[in-house]
Structure 1
Amino acid sequence: MIDFTVETKDRNVVLYLRLSRDDRNKGLSVSIENQDKILTRFAKEHHYAITQRYIDDGESGYSFERPDFDRLNKDIVSGKVKRLLIKDMSRLGRHNARALLFMEDARDYGCEVIALDDGYSNFQDNDSTIGIKTWHNELYVKEASKKVKNVIHMKQEDGEWMTTPPFGYRKVNKKSAQLVVEPDSACVVKRIFQMYADGYGILQIARTLTRENVPTPSRSLHEFRLANGVDDKSRYTDIWNDACVRRILKNETYLGTLILHKGECVKIRGKYQKLSKEKWKVFEHHHEAIIDEKLFHICQEKLESRKVRSKRKRKHSENVFYGFLYCADCDSLLKPYRTLKDKREGNVHYYCSTYLKQGKTVCSAKSITELQLKKAVTMFLKRCRDVYKVFLEQQHVHADSKEAEQKRISKTISHAKTQITQLKSEIKQLIENKMHESMAQPENYTIIQESYQSLIDEKAKMMKECEENIEVLKQELESYSLNEEHLATALYVLDEMIAKQDYSKKELQILFRKIMVHDHQIVFYFKGYYSDKIDANIMLVDEEQEAYRKAIIEEIEKQVVDQMFSLKNVHQGLCNQGYTYSYKGTFMTQVKRLEAEGVIRRPHKNKKAIYQKVE
């Protein structure tokens, strides 16, 4: 038992309370309220002052990544918490190795952890069986997991639907696993299959449904739950996308077939792994079908044929800017796309992936060409060169500040080396603990090995990150030792890159973290030094479009009579000059831009499209 007669000057204490979803089934004995009452009464009896409560409600004890537990851990490391009360070790966590390591780390940081029901304090080390108790807590989780898996497998063998029904179906009631057709959403499913069989594309179907305000699967589920008195706070969308339509087209549930056991998690909180088709559990004629087999197979053949055709058309040429470009509005990647004109000219267009999937109702048709990007990179590198030239001139002036920065980096490297030494010591201790417990409890050898190995791997990963950080800092330290000759070499390299105006993917990876694309400008996120002194904004100017705009103004000035002119005649005059832009496309875009700038205006909204030049 704990000796509470030990005198301590600091009588402040914090409480940690945790309840998992499974623990709720045990009743009031482990509820948050009862944990709080028990610990509060104990604190009053021993004249402790409670300063804070850390509460993780509904969080698994097997995982040590919990919101308030993370906050508690940081406060212990920073020295804010000197005494922690928990009801028992299972409230701290149900991972044997992690729980014991937490107790040791807390003691090293000067924090006493008291497990009330277990009668244990990490300062007094008064219970030689604490390792067995933490192991038993972990065993409880693994046994519970095994039981849940067995129940799931039994229900799968019986063909019982256990999750939310797919769009177009609903359960007879909460307790029943029988699926019945939901008429309204089933009509939408039939329409999707029929439209695809009739030749509509997947994205075209999605845009049509969005335009007609057809409820999406997530929206329908939300409304169904609200209608049945469920306070549903889950997220939903009113916008159909290609992934949603494709998922419906590939779902065999609409044939009346139920397929279970497509994948499983090998270990607790592990990754979901797909299984081969031989291991699937298939139940034909399980429920009423929405789609007949003929229509379903027509759609599957079309999906497969388009998939094959897209592979044949795939180009192996490298899109050097792919992976760097992000849309400034929706923060999604810009994807490469080549038109016939691009193929002739050796160019590439990059479009916002959200626009390509969901259309302009969600994000604008943001695009940029590879030629524009290369010009923009050249302009940015010229700015870098100018800043580095100034730095070269002022290098001797700032010698003192350079020395201070070198000392700061050296101190950081020293701290990282100390951390590596500490991690090595912790790994060594974990290995010793693992060997000791394995020898003491040979019947539980496998569980002990798994528990400790995951923690050893995590420490090794942290040590590797520290080593990598040291290498980066050493390179940074070396950069401060560069003399004028080395800086001149760097400027020479920049001049070479600017002269060729052609960049490889590796060069871009060295230069930039990412590139944000706006409607009329791009912003570079530079990795190099003095990035805060370099103007990262580059305005986009399409020289070809600007030349066409000037040609439009010149043609207007030729044809204007009493300040009036015909828009169609202007376009015809430009065609006679050799311009091939369409009337409704680029030409109208430029005309609307001129109108917005006040260069021209429309006196009457008539079909003849007569414009009046503003003097």
Structure 2
Amino acid sequence: MARTAQRYKKLVEKKSAQVPVYRAAIYARLSVDKNEKKVESIETQVALIKEFIQTHNAKADKEYELALYDIYSDIGKTGTNFERPGFERMMKDIRERKVNCILVKDFSRFGRNYIETGNYLEKILPFMKIRFISICDRYDSFAPDSENQELTMNIKNLVNDAYAKDISAKERAAKRIAQKNGEYVGSKAPYGYRCEKVDGKYTLLIEPEAAKIVQRIFEEYAAGEKIQHIIDDLYKAGVHRISDYNQYHHVYCQKGEILHQWGNSSIRAVLNRNNYYGDLVQRKYESRFQKGEKGCAVLDEREWIITPTAHAPIISRELFEKAQERLKAGQEARTVVGWKKDERAFYNVFYCGECGRKMSTSRSNGSVFYFCGASRYQDERKCNYKSVSEDKIQSIVHAELNRQFQLSGLQKKNMVAMGKTAFQAKIVQIENEIKRMNVEAERQAGKFAEAFMQYKDRNLSREAYMALRVERNDWKIFCDERRKALEQRITELQKRQKEETRFLKSLLDLKGTSKINAELAEALIEKIYVYDDKRLEIHFRFKGGVGV
């Protein structure tokens, strides 16, 4: 599926000048779902779309032609998010104007997340002037009747989302049964172990060489050694970090290999692994996907699934507990989990100007500081140390915003109106989704009422009626939960709008008393860079970079 730029160029040159030629991207996806049908294979999807292109171009009355630019695919990737290599490569080519048309077999191949899929189809792609064609759904975003197809498209995307959640729930239930039976269900074994099937169950077995490193980390930390010292010693000893160990399959760096030092988070991850004392501890986290949210929720210890003495221990329980006591004592810098809301307003926009990495944060004497984490590296990634406090950045950015607003002549009422419009657009988008769900809910109710009458008149079997009843109930639960989440989001947006309006008024009146929160910082600032000479460079979204 390599790019064939020369063939593509020749093909475009041959096209008739009387109709527009779209530079087409074929996108195909195959998930890890065991229920995926064979007809959904990557090859089958691509062949179907190619046949569509050929048939379309052969029409004498065609209004446009399709010139295949490249084929993009993702194998073993879920459709519940868009973090896929093939998809990201396609979007990169779209941004570079190499592609202006996307063809998929059906909506589910593009994505199964209702919100994100709808955002691409209704907002992002139309804004970028990208034609979107779903073959089996007979949908063309540039067709004269595309607006009439919009409700059908949204319903299908909602059904795809519900299907993905249903599959997720079934897989989760199967995983819970395996966990309760004492079987390891992780995708990779913890560092220090390997996973093999023993007596019909996936079990953790010790990898002696890596297990010694685990013992070393626990013993040194429990004895009072600082994490940074442990990292330094492992680097001096030539011990591969976990990701490189998974690549090279041995602990110590050998000739021709690149040695990277361990990260602070990797050491902490090892220290927090309950499995090292022989108990199989699983379900410490749970995906938020069923709730229509990203990421994982940290579960209470009472919800963990624990199988005592499920495998051979690497360390004693006493050593593990000793390390935990020290971790909980908070003698070292706290991690992201402990940060309060808006305590690090610039965390997502602040970068080192020398190495380009996002700045790390620490707390000292009640104040928050940003520093370049790469300054702690000993390998080729090492950068010079630089540090600046949250308070200082607040002061500098606040003053520069005031100056920029004065120079640009922006009026208070205009800024407030801009902010209100942005928030209102988000709220309207959510309200439209609620309306679409209500329309579909009415259709489902009518469908069920009709089925009931057929069942009552004995024109529908009890089995078929009960299946429709279960489907109706599942749909109602999904809609109720989704509606509740969306209404809560509207309330949050309205609250944030009021807070931002108050801040903008204060800022533009030059009172200088308000703190910039994280959401406003990200809305106004693209990036902030800090250099070795302590110079800050601010790139505002509404204006070019400014050196301070």
Q: TM-score, normalised by structure 1?
A: 0.55
Q: How do 1:74-473 and structure 2 match up within 5 A?
A: 86-94=104-112, 116-117=135-136, 137-163=160-186, 164-172=188-196, 177-224=202-249, 238-268=260-290, 270=293, 271-305=295-329, 307=331, 327-329=352-354, 330-333=357-360, 335=362, 337=364, 352=371, 354=373, 362-367=382-387, 423=429, 426=432, 430=436, 433-442=439-448, 443=469, 444=472, 445-446=475-476, 449=479, 453=483
Q: Is the 8 A contact 1:420 1:466 kept in 2?
A: no
Q: Is the 8 A contact 2:350 2:358 kept in 1?
A: no
Structure 1 residue identity aligned to 2:79: G
CA gap 1:308/1:367 in 2 versus in 1, 3 angstroms: closer
Structure 2 residue identity aligned to 1:436: E
**Distance across 2 between alignment mates of 1:120 and 1:528:** 35
Displacement, 1:247?
Answer: 3.1
Partner of residue 51, structure 1: 67
Q: Is the 8 A contact 1:97 1:455 kept in 2?
A: no
**Distance across 2 between alignment mates of 1:447 and 1:225:** 49
Partner of residue 456, structure 2: none
Percent identity over paired residues: 19
Tell me if 1:17 matches 2:17. no
Displacement, 1:104?
Answer: 8.2
**Distance across 1 between alignment mates of 2:152 and 2:532:** 66
Give SS of 2:202's match: coil
Task: Give the one of 509, 521, 524 matched to 2:534.
Answer: 521
Displacement, 1:51?
Answer: 2.5
Q: Is the 8 A contact 2:240 2:251 kept in 1?
A: no
Displacement, 1:137?
Answer: 4.3
Displacement, 1:251?
Answer: 2.6
Q: Is the 8 A contact 1:423 1:463 kept in 2?
A: no
Partner of residue 515, structure 2: 506
CA gap 1:20/1:336 in 2 versus in 1, 3 angstroms: same
**Distance across 1 between alignment mates of 2:19 and 2:533:** 62
CA gap 1:225/1:12 in 2 versus in 1, 3 angstroms: farther
Give SS of 1:177's match: strand
**Distance across 1 between alignment mates of 2:350 and 2:160:** 48
CA gap 1:521/1:19 in 2 versus in 1, 3 angstroms: closer
- Per-residue CA shift, 1:497-525, capped at 9, x if unaligned? 9xxxxxx8838999996865433332253
Tell me if 1:40 matches 2:58. no
Q: Is the 8 A contact 2:372 2:385 kept in 1?
A: no
Give SS of 2:515's match: helix
Give SS of 1:506's match: coil
Q: Is the 8 A contact 2:238 2:259 kept in 1?
A: no
Q: How do 1:466-481 and structure 2 match up within 5 A?
A: none
Give SS of 2:176's match: helix
Displacement, 1:112?
Answer: 8.5
Give SS of 2:260's match: coil
**Distance across 1 between alignment mates of 2:351 and 2:184:** 41
Q: Is the 8 A contact 1:96 1:135 kept in 2?
A: yes
Displacement, 1:145?
Answer: 1.9
Structure 1 residue identity aligned to 2:309: H
Q: Is the 8 A contact 2:74 2:87 kept in 1?
A: no
Q: Is the 8 A contact 1:97 1:452 kept in 2?
A: no
Structure 1 residue identity aligned to 2:277: L
Q: Is the 8 A contact 2:72 2:90 kept in 1?
A: no
CA gap 1:454/1:290 in 2 versus in 1, 3 angstroms: same
Mean Cα displacement is larger for which, 13-22 or 510-519? Answer: 510-519
Structure 2 residue identity aligned to 1:189: V
Q: Is the 8 A contact 2:372 2:387 kept in 1?
A: no
Displacement, 1:156?
Answer: 0.2
Displacement, 1:426?
Answer: 4.2
Q: Is the 8 A contact 1:218 1:236 kept in 2?
A: no
Mean Cα displacement is larger for which, 188-197 or 9-18? Answer: 9-18
Q: Is the 8 A contact 2:72 2:89 kept in 1?
A: no
Structure 1 residue identity aligned to 2:373: T
Structure 2 residue identity aligned to 1:168: G
Give SS of 1:170's match: strand
**Distance across 1 between alignment mates of 2:388 and 2:130:** 57
- Per-residue CA shift, 1:372-411, capped at 9, x if unaligned? x69x979x97x999x99xx99xx9xxxxx979x99x9999
Partner of residue 61, structure 1: 79
Bigger relative contact order, structure 1 or 2 (CA pairs below 8 A, ≥6 apart): 2
Q: TM-score, normalised by structure 2?
A: 0.61
Give SS of 1:240's match: coil
Structure 2 residue identity aligned to 1:51: A
**Distance across 1 between alignment mates of 2:492 and 2:149:** 32
**Distance across 2 between alignment mates of 1:419 and 1:116:** 31
Displacement, 1:209?
Answer: 1.7
**Distance across 1 between alignment mates of 2:389 and 2:415:** 41
Task: Name the larger-Rg structure.
Answer: 1
Q: Is the 8 A contact 1:179 1:287 kept in 2?
A: yes
**Distance across 1 between alignment mates of 2:128 and 2:517:** 44
Give SS of 1:273's match: strand
**Distance across 2 between alignment mates of 1:73 and 1:217:** 30
Give SS of 1:519's match: coil
Give SS of 1:521's match: coil
**Distance across 1 between alignment mates of 2:492 and 2:245:** 45
Q: Is the 8 A contact 2:333 2:363 kept in 1?
A: no
Displacement, 1:259?
Answer: 0.8
**Distance across 2 between alignment mates of 1:277 and 1:171:** 24
